[in-house]
C-alpha cells in the first residue's frame, strides 16, 4: 500500500511569494564545481557527437513552445485542499530543479568563455532551456496565487561542490530520468484526458525532448572521458549514482502519492516504470547498470521509502532534538542497509550489452 506523509502547509515569504521549501536530502540542490577542470577536458573521443549535440541545441526546437494559451486564462480555485497543496509542491520542486540547472549551466558558460568556446556555447544554450522551463513553471504557480522569488533562491540556497565527474554522472541521470518522468505523465494523460487537471501537462511532450537533448550532450561528455566508463572505479560510481537517483526518485514519488492520485496515476507503478526506463537508457552511456529485474530490487526501494516516512514523522514531532536523533537511527540504518543490498546485487554489464548490439 502506498502511503504519504502529511502535505505541509504553505509558508509565505511575503504576499504572493512562497517561502522556499526547507532544504532536505530530497529537495533539489544547487551545485558548483571545478570550472578549470571542465575547461581543460579533452573531448576528441566524442568530438563529432558533442558537435552534433551542440547543433541540436542551436536549433532551439522549443523556441515558440512555452507560450501560455487561452486555457490558462481561468480560475483554478476548483483545485483545492490536499490536491492544491500537492500540486503546488510539485510545481515548486520542479521549478527549483530547473532553476538549479540554469544557475550551474550559466556559471559554467561564463567561466569557460574564452577558454573553451564550444563548451561555453553549449552550456549557455542549456541554461537558456532551463531558464525557460523554470520561468514557465513559476508562471504556473502564479495561477495559484504564489510564485518563487528566484533571486532570493540564488542568494539563500546552499551550494554543494561536486567534482566534474560527479556533475557529469548526476546531470546526465537527472536529464534522462526527467525525460521519462515527463513523457510517462504525458502519455498517461493523453490516454486519460479527464485527469488532466491543468494545461501545463500538455507541454510535457516537447518539454521532455529538451531533457533528452540535454542528456545526450552529457552522454557525449561522459564518453569523451575514459576514466568515467573504462575503469573499475567508474563501474562502482555508475552503480552508486544510479542507486542514489533511484532511491531519491522513489522517496519523492511516494511522498507525492496524493499528487499522482489526483491525475489518475498509481505512484508505485509510475516509479517502477520511470526507474526501469531510466536504467535501460543509462546502459547506453554507463559501463554498468543495476538489475531492476532482481526480485527484491523494488521491494528494497520501497523499504527505504517507508523508513523515510518514519523519519519525516519524527522530524515533525515535539520531542527534544537528542531524543529525535536516537529515534531516527534505526530508520537511517534501514535505508543505508537496503541501499547497500541493492548496490551489492550483481550488476548488468552495459559494455557487453552494447557489444552484442553492434
Q: Which three cell numbers stand for residue 26?
A: 530530497
Please check the confidence at residue 23 and state whether its pLDDT lies above 70: no
CB proximity list for 7: less than 8 A, separation 6 or greater: 82, 85, 86, 89, 258
Burial of residue 291 (CB within 10 Å: 0-12, 13-18, 19+) is middle
Tens of pLDDT, residue by residue over 126-185, are: 999 999 999 999 999 999 988 888 888 888 888 899 999 999 999 999 999 999 999 999
Query: Cα(108)–Cα(218) distance, rounded to whole angstroms?
Result: 14
Q: Which three cell numbers stand for residue 32?
A: 558548483
pLDDT above 70: residue 9:
no
For 220-257, the pLDDT digits (tens) are 999 999 999 999 999 999 999 999 999 999 999 998 89
pLDDT of amino acid 258: 87
Q: What sign for the dihedral angle of Cα 31, 37, 39, 44?
A: negative
Which residues, in sequence order, are CB contacts of 294 under 8 Å at separation 6+? 345
Q: What is the reported pTM?
A: 0.92
Q: How far apart are CA 77 and CA 84, in angstroms?
A: 9
Q: What are phi and psi of 290, to 5 degrees?
A: -85, 155
For 33-92, what is each residue's pLDDT tens digit?
Answer: 999 999 999 999 999 999 999 999 999 999 999 999 999 999 999 888 888 888 888 899
Amino acid at each position: 500500500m502506498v502511503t504519504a506523509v502529511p502535505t505541509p502547509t504553505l509558508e509565505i515569504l511575503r504576499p504572493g511569494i512562497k517561502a522556499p521549501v526547507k532544504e532536505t536530502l530530497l529537495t533539489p540542490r544547487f551545485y558548483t564545481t571545478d570550472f578549470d577542470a571542465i575547461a581543460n577536458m579533452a573531448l576528441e573521443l566524442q568530438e563529432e557527437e558533442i558537435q552534433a549535440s551542440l547543433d541540436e541545441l542551436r536549433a532551439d526546437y522549443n523556441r515558440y513552445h512555452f507560450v501560455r494559451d487561452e486555457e490558462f486564462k481561468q480560475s483554478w480555485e476548483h483545485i483545492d485542499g490536499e490536491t492544491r497543496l500537492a500540486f503546488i509542491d510539485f510545481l515548486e520542486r520542479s521549478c527549483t530543479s530547473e532553476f538549479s540547472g540554469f544557475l550551474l549551466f550559466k556559471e559554467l558558460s561564463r567561466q569557460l568563455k574564452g577558454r573553451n568556446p564550444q563548451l561555453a556555447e553549449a552550456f549557455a544554450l542549456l541554461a537558456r532551456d532551463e531558464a525557460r522551463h523554470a520561468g514557465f513553471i513559476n508562471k504556473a504557480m502564479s495561477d495559484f496565487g504564489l510564485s518563487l522569488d528566484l533571486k532570493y533562491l540564488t542568494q539563500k540556497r546552499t551550494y554543494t561542490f561536486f567534482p566534474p565527474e560527479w556533475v557529469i554522472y548526476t546531470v546526465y541521470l537527472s536529464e534522462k530520468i526527467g525525460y521519462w518522468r515527463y513523457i510517462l505523465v504525458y502519455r498517461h494523460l493523453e490516454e486519460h484526458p479527464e485527469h488532466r487537471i491543468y494545461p501545463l501537462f500538455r507541454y510535457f511532450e516537447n518539454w521532455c525532448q529538451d531533457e533528452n537533448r540535454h542528456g545526450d550532450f552529457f552522454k557525449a561528455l561522459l564518453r569523451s572521458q575514459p576514466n568515467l566508463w573504462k575503469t573499475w572505479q567508474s563501474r562502482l560510481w555508475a552503480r552508486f549514482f544510479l542507486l542514489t537517483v533511484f532511491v531519491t526518485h522513489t522517496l519523492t514519488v511516494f511522498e507525492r502519492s496524493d499528487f499522482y492520485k489526483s491525475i489518475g496515476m498509481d505512484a508505485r507503478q509510475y516509479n517502477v516504470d520511470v526507474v526501469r526506463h531510466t536504467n535501460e537508457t543509462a546502459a547506453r552511456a554507463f559501463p554498468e547498470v543495476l538489475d531492476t529485474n532482481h526480485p527484491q530490487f523494488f521491494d528494497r526501494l520501497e523499504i527505504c521509502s517507508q523508513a523515510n516516512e518514519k523519519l519525516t514523522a519524527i522530524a515533525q514531532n515535539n520531542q527534544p532534538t537528542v531524543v529525535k536523533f536516537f529515534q531516527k537511527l534505526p530508520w537511517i540504518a534501514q535505508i543505508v542497509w537496503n541501499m547497500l543490498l541493492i548496490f551489492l546485487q550483481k550488476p548488468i554489464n552495459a559494455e557487453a550489452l552494447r557489444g552484442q548490439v553492434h
